[in-house]
Amino acid sequence: MSAEQPITQIYYPGISLQPWVESYIILKHRPGGVQDVVPWTIMPDCTGYLIFHLLTGYSRLSVVGPRSVFKNINRKDRILTLIVRFKPWGMSGLLPFPVSELKDYSVPLCSITGSDTFILKDKLEELARNGDTDQCLSEIENFLIGHLTRKERINQTIEYVSKRIDKKHGRVSIKKIAEDAGISDRYLRKAFSSRVGLSPKRFSMIARVTYVVKQVDEGRAKNWAELALNTGYFDQSHLIEDFNILLGESPEVFINRSNREEVI
C-alpha cells in the first residue's frame, strides 16, 4: 500500500527570527484527514521543531527535540501540519533546560511556555479550520518573537561549528573544528550537546546520510559505490553501516520506500 503524500509549502521567517528559525513548513493532507494507516517514516534530524497538528477531531501543539535515529509515526486523521524548523542551535532559545533533554522526545508546548500556549493553540485551530494558514504563521511568529528575542545571545562557537559541519555535509574532523575554534574537544562535545541536543559526531553522521538521500532523490547519484566515495565514505560498506544505524535498514530499502519523508 502506498502512503498518501501531503502538499508541502515552505516559508521563511522575518528578520527578527532569522537567527533562530530556519523555515516554516506547511503539510496539507486531505481535507477529511489522512485515511491510510501505513506508518510514515521520518528521518533523523539535526534540529528541533515546534509543530502544530490539526486533526479531524482535535489539535495539538508540541515541541520536538532533535532525532538521533529514524521514527515511524501514525498520520491518520491529520488535516494540516504546521512546522517551525529551528536552526540547529535555535531551540536552545526556547527551552529552560539543555536541548539534549529533548533528544528523541517531544512535549506539549504548554509544559515549557505556560498557560499562554493554550490561547495560541485555540487560535491556530480556529484559523486552520477556516483555511487561514497565513494568519497561523503570523500568530506563531508573534509568539516566538516574544519568547526567543528576549533570550541571551546565540553562542557564536556553536553556530560556527554547526554551519561548518552542515556546509561540508558531515565530511569534517570534529577534532580539527575544535582546534580551529580555539576550544577543547571535550568542551565542544559538552556545549554542542547542551545547545544542539546531539553530539558533534552524531550531528555529522546525520548530515552526511541526509545529503546522500537528497542526492538520490534529486537524481544525482549514478550508483551506490560512487556516491559513497563522493560523499566522503571509505567505501560502500561504511555508507550502508551508517544507514543501518540511523535508519534501521539498507540504503536501497529506505530510498525505495513510498512511506517516507523527502529531504527538504
d(CA 80, CA 7): 10
What per-residue confidence (pLDDT) applies to 11?
A: 97
The string of pLDDT tens digits covering residues 41-90 is: 999 999 999 999 999 999 999 999 999 999 999 889 999 999 999 999 99
Per run of 10 residues, the mean pLDDT along the chain (length 264 residues) is 77 94 94 85 96 96 97 92 97 94 96 91 96 96 87 84 96 93 93 97 97 91 87 93 96 90 76
What per-residue confidence (pLDDT) applies to 1?
A: 41
What per-residue confidence (pLDDT) applies to 258?
A: 83
Q: What is the DSSP letter of 153?
A: P
* Residue range(s) of every CATH 1.10.10.60 domain in the chain: 156-255
- Domain range 156-255, CATH class: mainly alpha
d(CA 13, CA 255): 31
Cell of 59: 489539535
Q: What is the DSSP letter of 52?
A: E
What per-residue confidence (pLDDT) applies to 116?
A: 83
Whether the CB-CB separation of 91 and 137 falls below 8 Å is answered with: no
What per-residue confidence (pLDDT) applies to 2?
A: 54
CA angle centred on 75, ends 208 and 115, rounded to 5°:
95
